[in-house]
A = this chain, B = another copy of it.
Amino acid sequence: MTPLRVGLAGLGTVGGSVVRLLLDNAALFERRAGRRLDLVRVASRTPKPDIDIGSATFDTALASLDADDVDVVVELIGGVSAAKDLVATAIGAGRHVVTANKALLAEYGEEIFESANRRGVSVGFEASVAGGIPIVNALRTGLAGNRIDAIAGIVNGTSNYILTAMQEDGRDFATALAEAQRLGYAEADPTFDVEGIDAAQKLAILAALAFDATIDIGGVHVEGVSGIDIEDIRYARELGFSIKHLGLARLHDDGIEVRVHPALVPESVLISKVSGVMNAVMAHGNAVGPTLYVGPGAGGMPTASAVVADLVELARGTLPVPRPAARRLPSLGIEDVDCAHYLKIPAIDQPGVFAEVADVLSRHEVSIEAVIQRPQAIRSGAEPWVPIIIVTDDVPEAVVRECVSELANLAGVTGEISRIRVADLSAMMPPT
């Protein structure tokens, strides 16, 4: 059979790794795909003379990939604008596309899939979510016997690294972040990761695939890990929880619940033990029940592994041409989600304060599942205060907000109340 001719854009960490993998494992991929994967063209704005690109032709212009000898364009330049043009040109010319670009897909996935559908070309995006974990493939094929009810996961390695360093090594947020930056796990500007944006994009891609639906990225409720305090982590642990940055999407009759935020996860659930830069995605199917997929969520070679898997599928003729989603699912607002909550309430160490706190919750019919209050060292200024830690039962968002606002106005409460959602995944997760 004729080789699959690959044009690759971008020679960063991932691009360089894809090139290396294609050259090093050429015979293996030929056997698996039934034909050769030939790297014919490489485009990168910055030449990287130290990267061996074999017999491929190099050019600094992305337009060089718009050539007759290219069957598939591998887009690894990142960013949205230039990547979108590159992908649109490729599809317009009848070329297949493989991309690792989650931002591009979260924002323009629908448009890209529609044009690919019209042109009859395939789009591979295994590498866009959870790095080397073959979760797109699992959802598309391995779990094809299921209606997927829910997905949840740790899909941002930077956030998980920071939370793990806080929990295991007692680092505070700033120190853990600096460490992540030093090790190359976080960008100089970490906003994208620590504010949850990256995770929201990945979750939207996964949810669209799992539920065969168009998901509005704007409808995803997003919170990052930047507000998590080392003290919250300690109290959570004492109560039998790990704090994880979780993406969660669940199908309801009237829409889809899609949210990304830090959450207390019971230690009896396996995903609570996934540490460091590892990613983990849970998919719950109506037939199989809970399944969990764990692996490296980022990095050159793991991501390249996913890119090449798409290329092998394409060469085999089994990488699908995207179809329009079966439905457009409205996102439920976070207001429509009932959730258990962890509250840390800084209170003056005086009799009666706890009773006042309990009274506020009681008046809003909020049940208390767990409490920690104990004498503590003086924390600030002249006034001695102690944190009251409360875990509630499931409560509608509006009620929690009302409670927090009333609690903050109590004379005995001094300072800001932290609240973190509890994700009781025990019904849909493999246990430990």
**A287 CB, min distance to chain B CBs, angstroms:** 4
Do B312 and A132 have beta carbons less than 8 Å apart? no
Q: Of A27-35, A403-411, A413-421, which binds chain B?
A: A27-35
Interface membership of A349, Cβ < 8 A: no
A31 with B142, Cβ < 8 A, contacts A274-B430, A288-B295, A288-B305 known: no
A19 CB-CB contact with B under 8 Å: no
Residues of B within 8 A of A146 (CB): 305
Known: A270-B270, A430-B274. Contact between A292 and B294, CB under 8 A?
yes
Number of copies: 2
Tell me whether B291 and A133 are in contact (CB under 8 A): yes
- Are the C-beta atoms of B270 and A273 separated by less than 8 Å? yes
> Which A268-293 residues have C-beta < 8 A from chain B?
270, 273-276, 278, 285-293
Please determine whether A145 and B295 come into contact, CB atoms closer than 8 angstroms.
Answer: no
Which residues of chain A (234-282) have a CB below 8 Å from chain B? 270, 273-276, 278
A378 within 8 A of B: no
A382, CB-defined interface residue at 8 Å: no
Contact present for A430 and B294 (CB under 8 Å): yes
A252 to nearest B CB, angstroms? Answer: 18
Q: Number of A residues whose C-beta is below 8 Å from B?
A: 59
Is there contact, CB below 8 Å, between B278 and A301?
Answer: no
CB–CB A145/B21 < 8 A: yes
> Is the C-beta of A380 less than 8 angstroms from some C-beta in chain B?
no
B137 with A141: CB separation less than 8 A: yes
Q: Which B residues lie within 8 Å of A275 (CB)? A: 431-432
Q: How far is the CA of A316 from the CA of B316 in the complex (A)?
A: 13
In Å, the complex CA distance between A326 and B28 comes to: 10
Asked if A332 is at the interface of the complex by the 8 Å CB criterion, the answer is: no
A143 to chain B, nearest CB (A): 6
Inter-chain CA distance A285–B21, complex, in Å, is 12
Contact B270 A305 (CB under 8 A): no
Interface residue? A61 (CB, 8 A): no
19 interchain pairs, CB-CB under 8 A = A28-B147, A29-B145, A33-B144, A133-B291, A137-B141, A143-B305, A145-B304, A270-B294, A278-B430, A287-B304, A288-B301, A288-B302, A288-B306, A291-B294, A291-B295, A291-B296, A292-B294, A316-B318, A318-B318
